[in-house]
């Protein structure tokens, strides 16, 4: 019989080192995964503010699809809300009224990263997004851009909906 040329202790120490490195790699992978999940906009801020950043941005986009419900102008505290909807405001503008058949739209102008960065938390329970948006209308299959306006989107925790204010 032939004798092995390398002692068994070298093989055992190499094997032990390989197991230790494998376990450390798995531990590091677990830490990186946990950190990525905590900072994922899909889930972040839900426990603190009642809505995740991702869901809040999606709610804002959904509300922007209903320009007839978006109020224009500042709200005076203690006074009844006499603001007009964006659609009514644009169609009743004495300087340049829109045709009755015009379909008003609002589009956020930011990239996805600027939308996520634009989400703020003014206090411990609120979520807010301030970003410019393009306002326009569709008529006879053509889009006409009217300009940009600052949009503020606030999350209402009682209704679980975003509320849009166009200034």
pLDDT in tens, 101-124: 888 888 888 888 888 888 887 777
Number of domains, the chain: 1
pLDDT, tens digit, 9 for 90 and up, residues 2-43: 565 655 556 778 888 889 999 999 999 988 887 776 666 556
Domain-embedded: residue 103: yes
Domain-embedded: residue 9: no
Burial of 146 per CB tally in 10 Å (0-12, 13-18, 19+): middle
Beta bridge partners of 128: 120, 154
Q: Compute the average pLDDT of residues 65-89.
A: 81
The parent domain of residue 54 ranges over 46-166
Helix (H) or strand (E) holding 26: helix 8-38
What pLDDT is recorded for position 118? 84
Alpha helices in 39-134 (DSSP H): 46-49, 53-64, 86-91, 112-118
């Amino acid at each position: 019989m032939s004798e092995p040329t390398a002692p068994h202790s070298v093989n055992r120490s190499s094997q032990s080192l390989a197991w230790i490195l494998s376990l450390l790699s798995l531990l590091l992978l677990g830490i990186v995964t946990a950190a990525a999940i905590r900072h994922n906009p899909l889930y972040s801020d839900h426990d603190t503010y009642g809505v995740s950043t991702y869901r809040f941005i999606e709610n804002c986009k959904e509300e922007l699809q209903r320009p007839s419900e978006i109020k224009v102008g500042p709200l005076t505290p203690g006074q009844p809300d006499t603001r007009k909807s964006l659609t009514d405001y644009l169609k009743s503008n004495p300087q340049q009224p829109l045709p009755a058949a015009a379909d008003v739209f609002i589009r956020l102008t930011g990239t996805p990263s600027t939308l996520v960065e634009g989400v703020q938390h003014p206090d411990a329970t609120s979520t807010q997004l301030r970003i410019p948006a393009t306002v326009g209308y569709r008529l006879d299959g053509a889009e006409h851009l009217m300009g940009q306006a600052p949009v503020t989107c606030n999350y209402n925790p009682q209704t679980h909906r975003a509320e849009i204010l166009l200034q």
